[in-house]
């Protein structure tokens, strides 16, 4: 077991860095605002001689402040891009519990956080497979024909790969989702030309399931009910914009084909 007190100003600075980095990782990977603030506060308060702890987090920033021997320590982390990855949220949750329990020294905790930050996470093939399988499964839930499952599987696979290419190229989330909708619509309409009996609407809906902002909207409602109005409204607006981008991307090729035909 490690010491439950801070022994120097340098140690207080390290504690500040540990707490802010843990919060930033959670925020960047889609954790709810209350969870981010609670985790950071628990990490800081685990040291008994730390006083006046304040933690504030919004959709893309986290600010912490505490005092040690009448000296104020403040740290700010700006999170420029957010995604949803429960793998990293779980990693930081486990880390925070172990830290509060006293399983790490400050230096060990810092190294563990760096290890989490550099972790590549789940491999890309697993994410692509998840998108493809979910597309085929949702088609069955929507009452589609079994042969169309393979088309939805293919559309979900290709659209996820292409959208990820644009995401890695740092395109904005609106454009990435617009392109995803565009790809889903174009590939499905292409199959329609060769297999007229397929159900385009069900294939399109099933293939878009991996892109729908369900987690974003759920977290936004959770933040609003917790009183985090700024983050809640930001999340809700983001969900609306993502849905709009997907709808525009899907509708454009369908409208053009309908007009031409």
* Residue where a domain stops, chosen among 75, 102, 118: 118
Q: Residue 23 has what pLDDT? A: 93
Residues 236 and 129 in one domain: yes
Report the sign of the C-alpha dihedral through residues 249, 255, 258, 261, in that order.
negative
CB atoms within 10 A of CB 114: 11
Instruction: Give 160's strand partners.
Output: none
Please state the pTM of the whole predicted model. Answer: 0.83
Q: Residue 123 has what pLDDT? A: 86
Residue 2 pLDDT grade (very low, low, confident, very high; cuts 50, 70, 90): low
Residues 93 and 38 in one domain: yes
Q: Residue 261 has what pLDDT? A: 67
The whole-chain average pLDDT of the chain stands at 89
Residues 32 and 90 in one domain: yes
Residues 64 and 188 in one domain: no
Q: Domain span at residue 141?
A: 124-260
CA distances from 49 to 4, 53, 103 (A): 8, 11, 18
Residue 3 confidence (pLDDT) above 70: no
* Residue where a domain stops, chosen among 96, 118, 140: 118
What's the average model confidence in pLDDT over 112-126?
Answer: 89
The per-residue pLDDT for range 189-240, each reduced to its tens digit, is 999 888 888 998 999 999 998 899 988 898 888 888 888 888 889 889 999 9
Q: Is 90 exposed, middle or buried (0-12, 13-18, 19+ CB in 10 A)?
A: exposed
Residues 90 and 153 in one domain: no
The per-residue pLDDT for range 34-47, each reduced to its tens digit, is 889 999 999 999 88
Q: Are 56 and 75 in contact (CB under 8 A)?
A: no
* Residue where a domain stops, chosen among 68, 102, 118: 118
199 assigned to some structural domain? yes
Q: Please state, in angstroms and rounded to a whole number, the distance separating the CA atoms of residues 174 and 169.
A: 14
Higher-pLDDT residue of 179 and 214 is 179
37 assigned to some structural domain? yes
1 assigned to some structural domain? no
Q: Are 184 and 104 in contact (CB under 8 A)?
A: no
Query: E-strand spans in the chain?
Result: 51-57, 61-68, 71-78
Residue 22 pLDDT grade (very low, low, confident, very high; cuts 50, 70, 90): very high
């Amino acid at each position: 077991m490690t010491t439950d007190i801070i022994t120097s100003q340098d140690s207080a600075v390290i504690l500040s860095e540990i707490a802010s980095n843990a919060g930033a990782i959670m925020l960047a990977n889609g954790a709810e605002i209350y969870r981010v603030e609670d985790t950071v506060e628990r990490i800081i308060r685990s040291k008994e001689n730390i006083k006046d702890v304040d933690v504030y987090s919004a959709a893309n920033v986290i600010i912490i402040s505490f005092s040690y021997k009448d000296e104020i320590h403040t740290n700010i982390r700006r999170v420029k891009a957010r995604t949803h990855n429960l793998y990293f949220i779980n990693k930081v949750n486990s880390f925070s519990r172990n830290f509060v329990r006293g399983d790490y020294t400050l230096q060990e905790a810092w190294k563990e956080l760096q290890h989490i930050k550099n972790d590549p996470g789940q491999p890309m093939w697993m994410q692509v497979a998840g998108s493809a399988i979910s597309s085929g499964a949702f088609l069955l839930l929507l009452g589609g024909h079994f042969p169309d499952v393979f088309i939805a599987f293919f559309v979900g696979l290709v659209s996820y790969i292409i959208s990820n290419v644009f995401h890695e190229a740092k395109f904005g989330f609106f454009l990435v989702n617009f392109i995803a909708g565009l790809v889903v619509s174009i590939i499905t309409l292409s199959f329609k030309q060769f297999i007229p009996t397929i159900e385009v609407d069900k294939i399109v809906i099933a293939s878009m399931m991996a892109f729908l902002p369900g987690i974003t909207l759920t977290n936004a409602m959770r933040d609003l009910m917790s009183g985090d109005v700024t983050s809640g409204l930001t999340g809700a607006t983001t969900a609306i914009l993502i849905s709009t981008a997907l709808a525009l991307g899907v509708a454009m090729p369908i409208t053009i084909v309908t007009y031409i035909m």
